[in-house]
Amino acid sequence: SDLGSQKERVVTEEEWLQKWEMGNIGFHKEQGHPLLQKYLDVLLNGRSGLRIFFPLCGKAVEMKWLADMGHSIVGVEISEQAVKEFFSEHSLPYCEEPVPEISGAKMFQSTSGNISLYCCSIYDLSSSVVGKFDGVWDRGGLVAVNPRDRQRYASLMINLVEKNSSYLLVTVSYDPNKHKGPPFYVPESEIQSLFG
Ligand code: SAH
């Protein structure tokens, strides 16, 4: 298959937590992603005050950027360290509370209320907990999901978006037989079959 040797590979949640602890986070960029700037109009589609979802958010600076534009941001991230670093690096005061529907999960919310980051596995979320979204910025989300979990991830994402939503997805095109990552190769044909 054109997935090469990646198809069976798994990165565990524990390994992700370790990457954060070791500062092994080459995927994090201090500058906003140029493709978000380029396709912002597609995401917004003339609308304002959107609810925008960041799956597998890390401490993506684009969350602050879109929040400052008046949108309300919801992210999900397994690493509590990442979530706390996001708020502290942007000097944003926040509060922390349990999520009654998800055991062990916490929600970190900026005091201003417009950025809410769930610290749990994305697979624990559902629209009954987080509602539905008008837009999605998926950079480092689908491509970080273990290939065996892609179908589950895509079904969840389809469930979390409103009818007239826009979903911006960043993938990286390369020969998976020559390179190991970043983290997983998602061929265009698979995006078609996952999302239609
Ligand atoms: N979107 C971010 C981070 C991409 S790296 C960015 O653009 O910088 C992928 C992130 O997903 C990591 O921070 C990792 O800790 C987190 N992660 C991995 N599996 C997860 C899961 N099942 N649920 C929630 N977060 C997860």
Of 77, 107, 138, which is best to mutate to test ligand 1, by the most ligand atoms within 8 angstroms of its C-beta? 77
Whether 8 is in a domain gets the answer no
Q: Which domain holds residue 137?
A: 13-24+31-195
- Residue 12 burial (CB < 10 Å; 0-12/13-18/19+)? exposed
Type of residue at 172:
V
Radius of gyration over alpha carbons of the chain, in Å? Answer: 16
Q: How far is the CA of 107 from the centre of ligand 1 (A)?
A: 16
Per residue of the chain (196 residues), what is the pLDDT tens digit? 455 667 788 999 999 999 999 999 999 999 999 999 999 999 999 999 999 999 999 999 999 999 999 999 999 999 999 999 999 999 999 999 999 999 999 999 999 999 999 999 999 999 999 999 999 999 999 999 999 999 999 999 999 999 999 999 999 988 888 887 778 999 999 999 999 8
Ligand 1 atom with minimal separation from the 122 CA: 23
Between CA 69 and CA 92 the distance in angstroms is: 16
Count of Cβ atoms closer than 10 Å to residue 73 Cβ: 25
Q: pTM for the full model? A: 0.97
CATH of the domain at 74: 3.40.50.150
Pairing of strands 94-98, 72-77: unpaired
Q: Both ends of the chain: CA-CA distance in Å?
A: 20
Pairing of strands 51-54, 72-77: parallel
Number of domains, the chain: 1
Q: Whose CA is nearest to atom 3 of ligand 1?
A: 58
Whether 5 is in a domain gets the answer no
Ligand 1 atom with minimal separation from the 56 CA: 11
Whether 2 is in a domain gets the answer no
- Residues with Cβ within 6 A of ligand 1? 13, 16, 27-28, 56-58, 60, 76-79, 82, 121-123, 139-141, 144
Which structure tokens are listed for 22? 């070791």
